[in-house]
A and B are shown apart, each in its own frame.
Chain A
Amino acid sequence: MNPNRDHYPKGEALHRSLSRRYRSASIWQTLFFSALVIAILSLAALLYNVVDGAFGYVAFEYKNDPSEFTSKALDDLNKQELLDILTTNLSSGAFKKLDNEKAMEKRSKSDLYTLVLERLIQIDTKQTWSMTDSIFRSSEIKAEVAKKYPDAKLEFRSWLTPVFLTTPMSSKAEFAGVRTAILGSLWMVGIAILFALPIGTGAAIYLQEYASKNFLNRVIQTNINNLAGVPSIVYGMLGLAIFVRALEPFTSGSMFGVTDSNGRTILSAGLTMGTLVLPLIIINAQEAIKAVPDSLRQAAFGVGATRWQTVWHHVLPNALPGILTGSILAVSRAIGETAPLIVVGASTFISLDPEGPFSKFTALPIQIYQWTTRAQSEFHSIAASAIIVLLILLLSLNATAVLLRNRVQRKY
């Protein structure tokens, strides 16, 4: 008989050793579970914090009484009456400026309504409250407002509204929106993808399918891996030096006859973001290409395909879902980046939609950063709303990536 059998525990000893193993297993399981709970709690706290700021009571006064401008209730005015009020009460200089931005007759009724509120009646926000306060201390707040601001109106407001999404920037929080910032972010991400996806995929194909395992290629590979971890502000410096300054004739559009801008354009920002995500895209694409089994390459070579035919007809199509998923995830990192944009020179106050790659730009994180640094509490409320918008944008990008991955499941 095999003598080694005697070296394993038996009977009572076996029981003891087994229960010891179960005990340590359950300790580890508890530890892992608590780790999960901590992660979920901090996520929940983050979400709560953001949502808490975006809804709640607000106390405000009209600086000028509406009755100074019209005898009717504001909400009953039609478009022509609103226009008349603006014509008579705005200074002609201010009116012309607005007219130049967009012809007054062509503006919608709600546009004009907002202008009347913003320019003539002028809202003066006294104080805002968080959602939790508004719900649980409703009566105290009402009493406080009645005492402190006898003329003020109290309103429970969602700062995040459809109007918030579709209005451009304004110096007054009540009238500010994130339209310009959303468009800026989308433009930037679009340019970043257009730039980084082809280059990243190309580099990944070269590294996986063509490069031999020599010293130089190993150095390149290591550097790409390291570049993925370089702090984003460094990419900002790079973008400033290369895209904003060195390539100014190109990024400002002066090469193409655009005259009214410098290098601090959407194009520069997009290219900077493209460079930032490039290493991530390369690494993700390499993984996707690696996942295509060798048997498929052999099959193609076996029927007399060249390397390029093999890559183009088999490797790339089968790696593509993975490449796209990886790129979307990489880009969703870019959409939340703030530091490089500040360095590259995002504008903090723009109310005009970006018209093309050579426009000045702002982006959601810039807008959020700028609003949170303001002293007035109403700006913190719109910052919270903008954060929600950014999070939703991020989530939908990630959801697209997951859907893409699940839809095109591996066939081999």
Chain B
Amino acid sequence: MENIQTPEYAIETKNLFIFYGSFPAVSEVNMRIEKQKVTAIIGPSGCGKSTLLRAFNRMNDFVPSSYVTGEILLQGQNLYGKDIDPVEVRRKIGMVFQKPNPFPKSIYENISWGAKINGFKGNMDELVEQSLRGAALWEEVKDKLKKSAYELSGGQQQRLCIARTIAIQPEIILMDEPASALDPISTLRIEELMQELKQNYTIIIVTHNMQQAARVSDYTAMMMLEKDGSRSGTVIEFSETKKIFTNPKDKRTEDYVTGRFG
């Protein structure tokens, strides 16, 4: 009965709790995230969205006090299983951060470094070009690949970070408020990009922007602090984005997405 293959889901969580020390920042999350779809996680500040997202590629391991109970299954395998190497997990599940954080190296090296350390054997020039095209950045930077990534604008840097993630060919891309530091036009470009990326990747995005969630995502997870006053966050509703925004089941979801929250 164990380890039944559930290929239709990219990630499945079972009774997931995430703790910082004795504080359960996220409790009892059961969700199935579809492959090659954009899933948005929304909810008020401090409800554990980033914590949940970081658990998906074990970035929480770097917080010494944090630990997880329950399961996060990737193709039937528990990401927190004993024989799972977190480095391998992070290669399969890439991450784009809130603030663009390119390496202080050339644009080219920003892409090639991840590939190199993961043992990529193919044609590096091609990989760099494909990744940059994939992130809709190629036309803007093709003549200055040797220039420092820090010479790019914030929006370009964020697309470079996406290109860097694509280059290691993950199955899933996690994005934690990827456009919150960008202007509306750059934000729009990132949103368009997500629509293209979901043809090949599963995307999970945390956002505070309701319109953005409505525009880009196929599914939406609504997170809230538990009603019992424990300050612990959980997913109170998870379904198709359309439903969340037009016909939510939970009153709190309705209040939140219509801006009556608080």
User: Which A residues fall within an 8 A CB radius of B?
Assistant: 212-213, 295-306, 309, 313-314, 318, 411-412
Contact = CB atoms under 8 A, between A and B. Distances in A.
23 contacts: A212-B64, A298-B59, A298-B62, A298-B97, A298-B101, A299-B97, A299-B161, A299-B164, A302-B57, A302-B94, A303-B94, A303-B113, A303-B114, A303-B168, A304-B88, A304-B117, A304-B118, A304-B168, A305-B87, A306-B117, A309-B117, A314-B103, A411-B148
B57 to A, nearest CB: 8
B120 to A, nearest CB: 11
Contacts of A213: 64
B104 A305 contact: no
B51 to A, nearest CB: 15
B113 A313 contact: yes
Interface in B63-115: 64, 87-88, 90-91, 94-97, 99, 101-104, 113-114
Given A295-B101, A303-B91, A411-B150, 20 more contacts: A213-B64, A295-B97, A299-B102, A301-B59, A301-B90, A302-B57, A302-B59, A302-B94, A303-B90, A303-B113, A303-B118, A304-B87, A304-B88, A304-B114, A305-B114, A306-B87, A306-B117, A318-B104, A411-B104, A412-B104
A51 B97 CA distance: 59
A305 to B, nearest CB: 5
Q: Is the interface on chain B under 10, 10 to 19, 20 to 34, or 35 or more residues?
A: 20 to 34
Contacts of A305: 87, 114, 117
B36 interface: no
Nearest to B114: A303
B60 to A, nearest CB: 11
A297 B102 CA distance: 11
Contacts of A306: 87, 117
Interface in B103-137: 103-104, 113-114, 117-118
A318 to B, nearest CB: 7
B89 to A, nearest CB: 9
Contact of A296 (B88, B95, B103): B103
B39 interface: no
A299 B117 contact: no
Nearest to A212: B64
Nearest to B161: A299
B130 to A, nearest CB: 16
